[in-house]
Amino acid sequence: MNVFVTGTAGFIGYHLARRLLDEGHSVTGFDGLTDYYDVSLKRARLGELAGYERFTLIEGRVEDAQLLRQSLEGADAEIVVHLAAQAGVRYSLEQPASYVQANLVGTANLLEAVRALPPRHFLFASSSSVYGGNQQAPFSELHSADLPLSFYAATKKGGEAMVHAYSHLWAIPSTSLRFFTVYGPWGRPDMALFKFVAAILAAQPIDIYGQGQMQRDFTYVDDLIEAVMRLIGRPPTIGQPVDGDSLSAVAPYRCVNLAGGRPQPLLDFVDAIEAALGMKAERRFLPLQAGDPRDTAADPTLLRQLIGDVPLTEMSEGVARFVDWYRRYYRL
């Protein structure tokens, strides 16, 4: 199987590409290697992938429509997974223009390329952030996602809408994947786990927002990748819903929560980090940040209807694996 993956130097893109390659598939990766965070970490991920004969990297930004189209043509892709995006809720308050270009213009560029070269299945990386001000919990794909709390969330919701429109207009089987707080080895330095471990090892305080009262549906990266791999083989078909489906009535399109449905307190996450490090953190409690929901909780019913049960790594184990990777990577 030939798979085209945007954002291959990113956290999730790297893990997905590696899993595909390990299973014998061919992967064409497309990544702009932007400097939102440490580019050397991105290049290290790509270095891990470079040893695979069936991996091809094209360095470019999704804002470059011509290069994107040419790259997709050369990939002869049966599956397209669009993970490239400007990430981060808080950064979207500072640099909203970068989210317009990467998340909206970039997604539109890829959809135009896909329209000319339709794959068997197009998968788009969305986010639990789209649920925004939704007051119902746990979050179901059938709940409203029209009240974003951040511009990042707004661009992800906009991406979902564009994918649905192209799916309807050009009969492209498409799935929007709503990720919930993904963590694990090779993670992003702007996320809590990375920041907390770095601060604790440096004997610096950690900032805990929401006065420590937040909950998150933490998703270990290997569990997420297992779900994505199974969903690749389940492209939506109009008129063939499963129970509780988000399948569109007018397009071969659905959105799916990717999470275990086990929200846990943020302070339990901190406890797990302390246990894995064998060190105590100096905890600095701060108010909830603008754009952040207090709690996230996924309803995984639809995911299980589509692909069955997936592994659910215990948080203590997942955090310990990250800490082991962090110590090896930074030679600590």
End-to-end CA distance of the chain: 39
DSSP state of 289: P
Token readout for 139 is: 């979050």
A 10 A CB-CB count for 137 gives: 15
Task: List Cα–Cα distances, 128 to 66, 134, 179, 210, in angstroms.
Answer: 31, 11, 6, 18
Closest CA to 312 of 217, 235, 246, 243: 217
Catalytic residue (choose from 37, 131, 152, 166): 152
Rounded distance between C-alpha atoms, residue 109 and residue 113, angstroms:
6
Tokens of 195: 């920041």
Q: Contact, 245 vs 235, CB < 8 A?
A: no
Q: Cα 221–226–231 angle (5° rounding)?
A: 125
Best CA proximity match to 172, nearest among 246, 113, 230: 113
- Cβ contact 27:48 at 8 Å: no
Distance CA 321, CA 272 (A): 11
Q: Is residue 166 flagged as an active site residue?
A: no
Q: Which residue, among 10, 162, 179, 194, has the nearest Cα to 86 in the 3D structure? A: 10
Ranges of H-type helices in the chain: 11-22, 39-49, 65-75, 91-94, 96-99, 106-116, 151-170, 192-201, 221-232, 266-277, 301-307, 315-329
Active site residues: 152
